[in-house]
Structure 1
């Protein structure tokens, strides 16, 4: 039998484990329930249907077992099921950012502490950051159910217990208030902000996609990766959330080396840069990322001088 072709996903970060696709044989060995979702497409490549949330969740479970030594990972119904390769890319680009101020050496170990804003129910950034670079994390969210699910994941994986702590944000209109305490120091913050202004706006792309594929018109959304309200939309959408984050970040200039966030919509960049200049950010970086058809970017900023950055104690 001729082996299936292996296609390098060159748009992923060079250190990303998933650049050469998925070893479905190994993944199915580790998680037999994945098998029912796997098929060979018209190009002769094994894959799953990424429009089926249960298929994406099964793939994630298998990847976390196989590549990151995480057992019993699960999320409640209707919560965001993130694509792991893209989330791993964010972690790798963060590592490069930290290395750029550390004599090109990626700082590793539990003393490197990150703050995950909007950890969701999946706990994915802390899991990946700890598994790849042994970093520690504080994860925060406004959704108590999401925090409780992260707690379950951590409790089922003993290696995470001492390196990931969780905090409920009790005032939903704030991002860093109540979370960054006077004694805290974070090497970075990480965030995948809500994209949309409202629930109606969040469902439009999925409805349009379904209607393009079938003759009947539907008003019922299908969200490929699930998604709870707080994960998908907020008043002001992505730009409103990030603007709030920037203004709040200026209140903690010496406590965080790099503030970072994903920015999905390129048209929001000009307003983001303008706000960062208003709060006198010392350095601003934009890191382009792409996964498949989707292009995104990380915007990072710091209030520390070059010498303060280089003297940061990991």
Structure 2
């Protein structure tokens, strides 16, 4: 694990300050949300949900030519740079697993657990990395919007969707017989109750110096924000269920919000028989996060996977 990171992945194009003038040209409505800091710099009012949505739309259009990006009101509006970082570190993980050789983009199949209405990981996987991706979610309305994003951006050949009909399941009902996935990823629900989610929003409001009635850019549906037992309980279920698909996935992965959750998760993976476990740290300014990645493949099965999936293209 690398400690004390303060910046995005070296290949992340959003590491430098945003070119707001150029972004406003792509999304003119952004101009209404520009403000000047006390030291004279131009920035955005990040407390406004519309401003953040417009910014994400402009960033996706600027770097990756994503022409259409809309999210229904009330659904989670993610920050694009941090989501791309997760994918870039997973790409590094594949390269490391392939003896330092980059895996052909056309060979990579990704599964996003909980893709949401924003479909951000799958969109970035397709446009930035040229991967194939499957998005899954329990929310039918979210999947309707995700399907619209796929169609409007002409990504039907790269992206597909699967609805999880069982809210207690994670991989069961989504991974099908005959599926072979190089990567799974997940940004799990953080809180353990609606009250905890509301308290978290209140803390963010205070940090931004907002009144409690002010709108927030960190919206989200209940399933995006909380689950019974919070993140630790969700991740314990994910790890246990992943064992049932040990030979159908090369690398499972998830974000883990708190460092103190890792030891028990690593112990659980050891008990489940994981052959490889890695923790990858990420950072964006003062915000720290980490990816937990694990595999059940033996060296022999990993070699066969590489030979039949990664070297034939």
* TM-score over 0.5 (shorter chain): yes
Partners of 1:60 and 1:128 lie apart in 2 by 12
Shift in Å, 1:102: 1.1
On the 8 A contact 2:6/2:286 being kept in 1, the answer is: no
Q: For 2:239 and 2:120, how far apart are their aligned partners in 1? A: 23
Query: 1:6: which partner in 2?
Result: none
Deviation of 1:270 (Å): 1.4
- State whether residues 48 and 215 of structure 2, in contact with CA within 8 Å, keep that contact through their aligned partners in structure 1: no
Name the residue aligned to 2:68: 72
Shift of 1:31: 1.0
Question: Residue 270 of structure 2 aligns to a residue in which SS?
Answer: helix
Is 1:178 paired with 2:173? yes
Deviations 1:279-299 (A, max 9, x none): 111110000011122111000
| 2:17 maps to 1:21 | yes
Q: Which runs of 5+ in 2 are unaligned?
A: none
The secondary structure found in structure 2 opposite 1:298 is strand
**Post-superposition CA distance 1:187-221 (Å, at most 9, x none):** 000100000101110111222343567698x5x68
1:304 to 267, 291, 297: 297
Q: Which of 95, 98, 103 is the equivalent residue of 2:94?
A: 98
SS in 2 for 1:100: helix
User: Would you say the 8 A contact 1:116–1:125 is kept in 2?
Assistant: yes
By how many angstroms is 1:68 displaced?
1.2
Q: CA deviation at 1:307?
A: 3.8
**Residue of structure 2 in register with 1:5 after alignment:** none
| Superposition RMSD in Å | 1.9
Residue 64 of structure 1 aligns to a residue whose secondary structure is helix
User: Any unmatched runs of 5+ in structure 1?
Assistant: 1-8
| Structure 1 match to 2:133 | 137
- Give the match's secondary structure for 2:244: coil
> How far apart are the structure 1 equivalents of 2:112 and 2:210?
42
| Residue of structure 2 aligned with 1:46, choices 42, 47, 61 | 42
Higher helix share: 2
Is the 2:254–2:293 contact (alpha carbons within 8 Å) kept by the matching residues of 1? yes
- Equivalent positions of 1:70-219 (< 5 A) are 70-158=66-154, 160-211=155-206, 218=212
Q: Separation in 1 of the partners of 2:209 and 2:64? A: 39
Of 175-184 and 201-210, more deviation after overlay is shown by 201-210
Q: TM-score, length-normalised on structure 2?
A: 0.92
3-state secondary structure, aligned to 1:251: helix
Correspondence for 2:244: 251
CA deviation string 1:151-205 (max 9, x = no partner): 01111011x1111100110011000001111100000001000001011101112
Higher relative contact order (CA 8 A, sep 6+): 2
**What SS does the corresponding residue of 1:250 show, helix, strand or coil?**
helix
For 1:106-165, what per-residue CA distance to the aligned partner results, in whole angstroms no more than 9, with x for missing partners?
A: 22323210000000000100111111210001110000010000001111011x111110
Is the Cα–Cα contact under 8 Å of residues 203 and 222 in structure 1 kept in the other structure? no
Q: Secondary structure at the match of 1:33?
A: helix
Aligned residues: 303
CA distance, structure 1, for counterparts of residue 243 and residue 135 of structure 2 = 20
